Amino acid sequence: MDTQPGPLWDSVTAEADRLVHGNRGALYNHPSIDYGRTAEIFEAITGVTLSVPEAVAFMLSVKLSRIGNALDQQFTADMVRDSIVDLAGYADCLYAVWSDASDEAMDESLVAFLDELEDE
């Protein structure tokens, strides 16, 4: 007999996970590649350079702005569900690209350290 209660609401984080790690992830490639391209386009349009994590953070800010507008306009939760799902998905992408950026920085530091050892 299953004594675990069912979900109390449809999980936006579960939906975001299905999208990011499912069909959208397959279509758009890894977030580091996708948002790397976004950062390049943003720079070409504005002249402003964004790191890949900053490009994802910008997308988070867009969704937060839309949610803020929805709160001001007293939209129902169902009216902004898509933006909330997207917000959760962007948060997941931010972690992925931030981890990649940290790994890349660590790789560069390790290469520099090993180069210094060779020079000694």
C-alpha distances (whole Å) from 68 to each of 86, 99, 105 are 14, 28, 35
C-alpha distances (whole Å) from 70 to each of 48, 62, 67, 74 are 29, 12, 5, 6
pLDDT value at 114 more than 90 = no
* Number of domains present in the structure of the chain: 1
- Give pLDDT tens digits for 62-92: 999 999 999 999 999 999 999 999 999 999 9
pLDDT at position 37 is 95
Please give the residue range of the domain that contains residue 46: 12-119
Has residue 21 been placed in a domain? yes
- Give pLDDT tens digits for 25-48: 888 989 999 999 999 999 999 999
pTM score, whole prediction: 0.77
Q: What percent of the chain has pLDDT over 90?
A: 65
Has residue 3 been placed in a domain? no
Has residue 53 been placed in a domain? yes
